[in-house]
Amino acid sequence: MRKTEQVSWRRAMHLVVAIVVMSMVLVGVSSCKKQGANGTSSDNKLYLYNWTYYTPDEIIERFEKEYDVDVVVDNFSSNEEMFAKLMAGGGKGYDIIFPSADYTSIMINLGLVEELDHDKLPNLKYISPLVRSKATYDPDMRYSVPYNMGASGVAVNKTKAPEGYARDWSIFEDSRFAKRMSMLDDMREVMGAALKHLGYSVNTVNPEELAQAKALINDKWKPNLVKFDAEGFGKAFSRGEFWVVHGYAENVFEEFPEDKWDEIDFFLPPEGGALSIDNMVVVKGSQHSDMAHEFINFIHRPEIYAIFLDTFRYPAITNTEAGKYTKNKPFYSAEDVNDNFEVLQDLKDDLQLYNDIWQDIRYVN
């Protein structure tokens, strides 16, 4: 009798433990959701969702101080990741998201972003006409404000490379650099480079032009490449393993010792290429819409925008006045971004044309 009592008591204990564990799991899950989803407007917070390493801490700190607000920054590493989270309902709690041009137009078309109140954004007058002319999906900034416009380029290690290399995309045809070169593992960037080198648009859907671009990459560029790399090329470049890399300036320079930066020749090929514009959009249903407007306006205050430029050594392309306040020399100049550079557009179903070609380039020897 005593034994059975003990048994049932123990059984009950185990049941309690099991229930506690289960409820902890459930509470954990639901509380995560709560934090993301229901920020009320009175809580003095601002939720940002930006690319990793793309929001200088100094800017956030100064904004927090000036507006007495708590800024929470979440990071994503690709537009697809950000968009998947948004569509799964995990993006509801954010106030400002920083998508690239193609995803900005997608989000505008799907009605995921709020229309901006220009009365609250006086600093929009500093946005350069060039950037606005390139932002064909929203030239009047009704829904989106450009955060940064830039392009990938080519970095050459001058101590390793022989003299007299071409300072354009044809450098990848140069067999003297064979097995010492890498291009981005990014379909639109690489296809864009080839298309521009041939004199076509980065957004073409003409099969003949695309076939020529494929032949150029597969027959002339790829034999000289070690790999298509978007992860480790900066490190390999700084080790001296890769001599010529295609990528974004900051990814190359940040890995290289600063006292040796003059050993790097970084250029944007004059034939042009894929231009990327990252934007700020206010998420539809944002609980802190006013504060979000303040933040966008704050970013484009020229002396604040200069902090952003100095952090990443970008040229002052997006904001017309910020260049007067910068301290560091940018990695490339604003003039390098010539008229040949084109913004990547959302190709909708025609993207499949690119996918098929990219498979032939990436998956087959």
Partner 1 sequence: MSIKDGRRSSERRERRLGVSYAAPMGVWFTVFFIAPLVIIILYSFLKRGLYGGVEWEFSLTAYGQMFNPNFGKVLLRTIWISVVATAFCILLAIPTGYAMARSKHQTLLLFLIIIPFWTNSLIRIYAWISILSTEGFFNEILKSLGIIDEGLHLIYNHGSVILVLIYMYLPFAILPLFTTIDKFDFSLLDAARDLGATKFGAIRLVMLPNIRSGLLTAIVFTFIPIFGAYTVPLLVGGKDSTMIGNIIVDQVSKTRNWPLASAFSMILTLVSTVGVIWMMMSSRKEQAQKKNVTNQQKTEQNILDHHTTGGEA
Name the residues that contact partner 1, by CB under 8 A.
Answer: 7, 10-11, 14-15, 17-18, 21-22, 25, 78, 80-81, 83-84, 87-88, 106, 110, 179, 186-187, 222, 225-228, 231-232, 235-236, 239-241, 348-349, 351, 355, 359-360, 362-365
Name the token pair of 315: 């040229």
- Report the nearest approach of partner 1 to the CB of residue 240 (Å): 5
* Nearer residue to partner 1 within complex by CB, 42 or 365: 365
* Nearer residue to partner 1 within complex by CB, 207 or 240: 240
137 with 104: CB under 8 angstroms? yes
* Nearer residue to partner 1 within complex by CB, 7 or 27: 7
Separation of alpha carbons 304 and 326, rounded Å? 10
* Nearer residue to partner 1 within complex by CB, 125 or 348: 348
- Report the nearest approach of partner 1 to the CB of residue 283 (Å): 16
Separation of alpha carbons 44 and 37, rounded Å? 15
- Report the nearest approach of partner 1 to the CB of residue 213 (Å): 17
Q: Which residues pair with 57 in a beta bridge?
A: none
- Report the nearest approach of partner 1 to the CB of residue 271 (Å): 23
Separation of alpha carbons 218 and 358, rounded Å? 10
* Nearer residue to partner 1 within complex by CB, 142 or 348: 348
Q: Which of 233, 247, 245 is nearest to 157 (CA)?
A: 245
109 with 286: CB under 8 angstroms? no
Q: Which residues pair with 247 in a beta bridge?
A: 153
- Report the nearest approach of partner 1 to the CB of residue 98 (Å): 17
- Report the nearest approach of partner 1 to the CB of residue 359 (Å): 5
Name the token pair of 87: 């569509």
* Nearer residue to partner 1 within complex by CB, 122 or 240: 240
Phi, psi of 36 (to 5 degrees): -75, -30
**b/e for 312-326, b at 16 or more Cβ within 10 A?**
bbbbbbbbbbbbebb
Q: Indicate the DSSP class of residue 331.
A: S
In what side-by-side order are the strands of the sheet with 225-228?
225-228, 181-183, 244-247, 153-157, 264-267
- Report the nearest approach of partner 1 to the CB of residue 295 (Å): 26
* Nearer residue to partner 1 within complex by CB, 66 or 360: 360
